[in-house]
């Protein structure tokens, strides 16, 4: 069975600062990895996904993530955040036909 650990439940940063949201996973088989963003009272929106190929994945809104198989990590990064990036971010792993989500990281961008 797979599991996902998001290492920080809350990450406060100042506007235009870089940010990294950390995600580690465990799985005994090959996996697909995803990052989703959720704004208040809305569903989840796909930011980016890793299926195969290049370990550096670029997504929407200037986000990127790097798949590290040896460290079983898939950390999300953005070089310069905006106020509008304030949201909850979820890392997810798919193996078989199911997604397993982490518990989420609340990113708060302060002026």
Partner 1 sequence: DGGITQSPKYLFRKEGQNVTLSCEQNLNHDAMYWYRQDPGQGLRLIYYSQIVNDFQKGDIAEGYSVSREKKESFPLTVTSAQKNPTAFYLCASSIDRMGPQHFGDGTRLSIL
Distance from C-alpha of 56 to C-alpha of 14, rounded to nearest angstrom:
25
Collapse the DSSP code of 62 into the 3-class scheme (helix H, G, I; strand E, B; otherwise coil) and give the result.
helix
- Judged by CB under 8 A, how many residues of this single chain contact partner 1? 21
Query: Looking only at residues 80 through 109 of this chain, which bind partner 1 when binding is defined by CB under 8 A?
Result: 90, 94, 96-99, 101-104
Minimum CB separation from partner 1 for residue 14, in Å?
Answer: 25
Pairing of strands 105-110, 10-14: parallel
Instruction: Specify the residue, 45 or 71, whose C-beta has the smaller distance to partner 1.
Output: 45
Is 60 a binding residue for partner 1 by CB under 8 A? The answer is no
CB 54 within 8 A of CB 72: no
Query: Looking only at residues 24 through 53 of this chain, which bind partner 1 when binding is defined by CB under 8 A?
Result: 32, 34, 36, 41-46, 49
Q: Which helix (H) or strand (E) holds 66?
A: strand 64-68
Minimum CB separation from partner 1 for residue 53, in Å?
Answer: 15
- Nearest CA to 88 out of 1, 5, 8, 15 is that of 8
Provide the binding-site residues for partner 1, judged by CB under 8 A.
9, 32, 34, 36, 41-46, 49, 90, 94, 96-99, 101-104
């Amino acid at each position: 069975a797979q599991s996902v650990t998001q290492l920080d439940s809350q990450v406060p940063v100042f506007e235009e600062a870089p940010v990294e949201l950390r995600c580690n996973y465990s799985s005994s088989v090959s996996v697909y990895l995803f990052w989703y963003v959720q704004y208040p009272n809305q569903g989840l929106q796909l930011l980016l996904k890793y299926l195969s190929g290049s370990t550096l994945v670029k997504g929407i809104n200037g986000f990127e993530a790097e798949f590290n198989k040896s460290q079983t990590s898939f950390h999300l990064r953005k070089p310069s955040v905006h106020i509008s990036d304030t949201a909850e971010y979820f890392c997810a792993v798919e193996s078989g036909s199911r997604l397993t989500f982490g518990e989420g990281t609340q990113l708060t961008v302060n002026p």
